[in-house]
Amino acid sequence: MSLVVSGLNHRTSELALRERLVFSEEALPRALKALRERIEGAGAVILSTCNRSEVYVNHAGDPAYLHHEIRAFLCDWHSIAPGDLSPALYEYADRETVGHLFRVAASLDSLVIGEQQILGQVHEAYQVAHREQTTDKVVNALFQKAFTVAKRVRSQTSIGEGKVSVSSVAVDLAVSIFTDLSGATVLVIGSGEMSEQTLQHLVDRGAGRVIVANRTIENAQALAQRFHGEAIALDALESRLHEADIVISSTGAPGLVLHADQLQWALRRRSQKPMFLIDIAVPRDIDAAANQLDNVYLYTMDNLKEVADRNIEARRDEIDRSLELVDAGVEQFWRWLRGLAAEPTIVSLSKELDEIRRRELEKTLANLKGLTPDQREEVEYLTKRIVSNILQRPLAEIKQEAHEEEHGSVLAAVRRLFGLKEGGA
C-alpha cells in the first residue's frame, strides 16, 4: 500500500493559481466520487482552504502511479493545463505524507503559524470524505491521529497565543494605515467565521462604525447585531460602498464581488478620500484592477505573507517544540502502519495452522469412540493450546520485524515456508 499526497499552498503557488484549484463546498462530494472512479478502491480525502488544495490517497498502487493520477484528476476537474500546475505541485509519499498532514493540522504549515481555523478545516474535509464513504481504515486512522497530534501541540505549546489568525494580521495591517480606527467606517463583506473573527479584532482595536453586507440579509443582521453594527444586503453594496474607509471581504462567492468600476464610482462620491481594502477570500472577492486606482490600497492573502513571516520568527522556539511533538506522532503512526502490513500474513498463518489442527483432531476423535463430551472438549482445548503456544513466538517476531523498514522479505519468507497465498490472503 502507498499513502500519498499531492497539492499546492501559499508557499508554492501564486494566489491566481490557488483560486483555480479551489473545491467549493457544493462540489466537494462530486469531486471525491470522481477521484474514486479514477483510482478505484482508493481511500481519499480532499482538503481545500483559502491557502491550499491537497489530495490524500491510500491505495495498493505505487506512489508514482498515484501522483500521476492525482495530477490528471486536478487538471481535468479544474480545466488546468499540466504545465501550469506541475511547477507549483508538491508530492509526498508514505512517511512524508504523514508528517505533512500532521504539520498542516497543527497549523505549522499555515500562512499564519498557530492559527486555529485550519484544524477545523481539516476535520471538515475528513468528515465530508467519511460521509461520502471515500475513506478507508488507513485514512481514518491517519486523520484521527492528525487531530490528536494537533490538539497535543496546542495544549503543550504556546504556538496559538497572540496574533495567530489571518483576520488579526489583516486588522494589524489596517491599523498600520489608519492609526486611529475610532473614526473609521468599516465595511465587512461576508458573514462567515472569517468575517466574524475580523469584526471582533476590529472592535477590539476601537473601530467606529460597522456595516455588514451579505447575500442573505438575515445572516448579516445576526452578525451586525453582535457588534452593534448595521446590516445590508449584498445587492445594496454599490450604493453604500462610498461610506467605507476600510473594506474587508471574505465570502465564498465563486466570482468577484467588487469590481474596479464600482470602486471608482465610490471614490468619486468620497471626493477621492482613500479606501483601504483587504481581500482575504479565495477565490478573490475584489477585482485586482482596483490596485491601479489612485487612493485605493488593496491587499490580498499573498500580501499578508510578509507579516506572517515576521510572525514565524517571533514563534521560532514554539515552532521547534511543536515539530518535536509532530515527529513523535509520526513515529507512532508509522510503527502502527508498518505493523498493519503484517496482519494479513498473521491472519493467514493462524488460519492455516488452525485448519491443520481441526483436520487432525477430527481424525483422532473418530478413533476415540469412548470419550465423553467433556473429554472431547478437553482434547480439543489441548490442541488449541498447543497451536497457540507454537504460534506465540513466531507471531511476536513477525510483528517486530514488520516495524523494520525492510519487512517485505520476512513476510514473503513466512508465506513461502507455510504455503500461504500471496499477500497473506
What is the SS3 assignment for 41-75? CCEEEEEEECCEEEEEEEECCCHHHHHHHHHHHHH
In the predicted structure, residue 278 carries a pLDDT above the cut 80 = yes
In the predicted structure, residue 153 carries a pLDDT above the cut 90 = yes
Confidence of residue 162 (pLDDT cuts 50, 70, 90): low
Please check whether residue 27 is in contact with residue 110, taking contact to mean a CB–CB distance below 8 angstroms.
no
- What is the CB neighbour count within 10 angstroms for residue 114? 26
Integer CA distances (angstroms), 145 to 275, 323, 374, in order: 45, 15, 48
In the predicted structure, residue 65 carries a pLDDT above the cut 50 = yes
DSSP category for residue 237: H
Integer CA distances (angstroms), 27 to 23, 30, 178, in order: 6, 5, 39
Please check whether residue 140 is in contact with residue 333, taking contact to mean a CB–CB distance below 8 angstroms.
no
Looking at per-residue pLDDT, the higher value among 279 and 208 belongs to 279
What is the C-alpha to C-alpha distance for residues 248 and 207, in angstroms, rounded to an integer?
Answer: 13
Q: Which of 92, 142, 122 is nearest to 336 (CA)?
A: 142
What is the C-alpha to C-alpha distance for residues 42 and 35, in angstroms, rounded to an integer?
Answer: 9
Confidence of residue 423 (pLDDT cuts 50, 70, 90): very low
In the predicted structure, residue 53 carries a pLDDT above the cut 60 = yes
pLDDT tens digits, 373-407: 999 999 999 999 999 998 888 888 777 776 665 55
- Which position among 4, 39, 50, 142 bears the catalytic label? 50
Confidence of residue 168 (pLDDT cuts 50, 70, 90): confident
pLDDT tens digits, 212-255: 999 999 989 998 888 889 999 999 999 999 999 999 898 888 88
In the predicted structure, residue 81 carries a pLDDT above the cut 60 = yes
Q: Name residue 33's amino acid.
A: K
Instruction: Please give the domain boundaries of the chain with CATH numbers for all domains.
Output: 2-162 (3.30.460.30), 166-304 (3.40.50.720), 340-424 (no CATH)
Active-site residue flag, 75: no
- What is the CB neighbour count within 10 angstroms for residue 312? 15
